[in-house]
Amino acid sequence: MSKSSTVFLLIPHLGGGGAERVTELLARNLPTEKHEIHLCLVTQAVGDFASLPKFVIVHALGARRVRYSALRLMLLIWHLRPEVIFSGIAHLNLLVLLLRPFLPRKTRIIVRQNGPVSATLAAPGSSEVMRAVRCFLYRSADGVICQSRSMAQEVSEFTGIPLDSLAVLPNPIDVEGIRSASDHCAEGWNGPGPHLLAVGRLSREKGFDLLLRTFATVKLRFPTADLAIAGEGPEKAALERLREMLGLNRAVRFLGLVGTPAIHFPGAALIVASSRSEGMPNALLEAAAGGLPIVSLPASEGLVELLMGQPGVWLAREISADALAESLLAALGALCPGERFPHPWIDQFRLERAIPAYERLFEVRSRMRPA
């Protein structure tokens, strides 16, 4: 049976953060009887692609930086002539939209806003010209996906795209896969604990410096507590220096990039989400799928809307180390060892609900652009 459409999915590389994970889950789970699925790895040249299903056609461009891939990317798109291009990372969104006049006319471009507007479209320090260019490029898309209603409101206000033309879709989360991966004995934890887990890119917006200062306070009440941080990023050296300055070398471990964070869920007392700004963090959603108690800073309106008043969630009153310490100490004081929560609100993110929502958007021509 012939495929009804060719879907071209764009990410920098495999094994990245939440945005890459969303795209990889789309590649794995879009129905193959309807779509020919291509996954383009812009900055990755080699790797073990055997973990991907055989029906996913991988194109590894191996560009040194995303912006250096423009010509190779354009030639590949002309070769494939996909019906839909999907990009879910800010700098890739801008690149593919910038290339739009040079791409096949019938190819639709759908982009996903993967973070707060202030961190991408309205980046501090951007000139008015650059902000206008970013708005124009987003308005040229056939569809823009937002992770929450509040994010859609921000995008609409900044770009002028009508609110009802923006799609609010849940991040796909492999709930059953996460529960299966975490259904084992505790891995990587030693000592009496409590054991705290954090997952994310080691960058300023993720707030791990706040977390380290918070953890120094927590250690005064829970002297046997330890903290594991999974992730890589540009702030690693600075965070290691801060760890040493705070006297936390023996209590805090940097795990590096962890392909399946769920293997660390058994034995963890809770997960801490310390981001200063965030869209809808996949690490937190995956922890919720695994039943972990959650302590979070109010990193976005969408996150607050999702977590406010939920059992098993301690949401800090503000974005600060002191507020995070209050919530962490409250959680550790209330939790029983090994306590888990069903987090029924995670059901909306299940693959069987989220993937069809993306597929419907891929198949329907957006009202954002004239036919």
How many secondary structure helices (H) and strands (E) does the chain include?
A: 12, 13
3-class secondary-structure state, position 212:
helix
For tokens 């200062």, what's the residue? 213
How wide is the angle at C-alpha 235 spanned by C-alphas 318 and 126, nearest 5°?
75
7: pLDDT strictly greater than 80:
yes
Number of domains in the chain: 2
370: pLDDT strictly greater than 50:
no
Give yes or no for a contact between 61 and 69, defined as CB atoms under 8 angstroms apart.
Answer: yes
Residue 368 lies in a domain: no
Task: Find the Cα–Cα–Cα–Cα dihedral 40, 45, 50, 54, rounded to 10°.
Answer: 30
108 and 192 housed in the same domain = no
167 and 199 housed in the same domain = no
Distance CA 277, CA 296 (A): 11
Residue 86 lies in a domain: yes
3: pLDDT strictly greater than 70:
no
What is the pLDDT averaged over residues 174-196? 85
Residue 248 lies in a domain: yes
**CA dist 186 → 183, 255, 257, 265 (Å):** 9, 15, 19, 7
For tokens 């259904």, what's the residue? 183
278 and 310 housed in the same domain = yes
369: pLDDT strictly greater than 70:
no
73 and 114 housed in the same domain = yes
156 and 277 housed in the same domain = no
Give pLDDT tens digits for 147-158: 999 999 999 999
pLDDT at 187: 62
CATH number at residue 240: 3.40.50.2000
163 and 281 housed in the same domain = no
Which spans in the chain are helix H?
Answer: 18-29, 70-80, 90-98, 128-139, 149-159, 175-181, 208-221, 236-245, 282-289, 301-307, 321-334, 351-363
Residue 369 lies in a domain: no
194 and 258 housed in the same domain = yes
pLDDT tier at 368, thresholds 50, 70, 90: very low
Residue 135 lies in a domain: yes
pLDDT tier at 1, thresholds 50, 70, 90: very low
Q: Single out the residue of 17, 11, 10 nearest to residue 258, CA to CA.
A: 17
Give pLDDT tens digits for 116-128: 777 666 666 667 8
Residue 39 lies in a domain: yes
% of the chain surpassing 90 pLDDT: 78
pLDDT at 18: 82
Residue 127 lies in a domain: yes
167 and 307 housed in the same domain = no
205 and 329 housed in the same domain = yes
- Tell me phi and psi for residue 73, to 5 degrees: -65, -45
124 and 22 housed in the same domain = yes
156 and 184 housed in the same domain = no
Distance CA 363, CA 83 (A): 9
Domain span including residue 44: 5-173+350-363
211 and 290 housed in the same domain = yes
Distance CA 128, CA 116 (A): 18
Give pLDDT tens digits for 85-98: 999 988 899 999 99
Residue 371 lies in a domain: no
Distance CA 352, CA 359 (A): 11
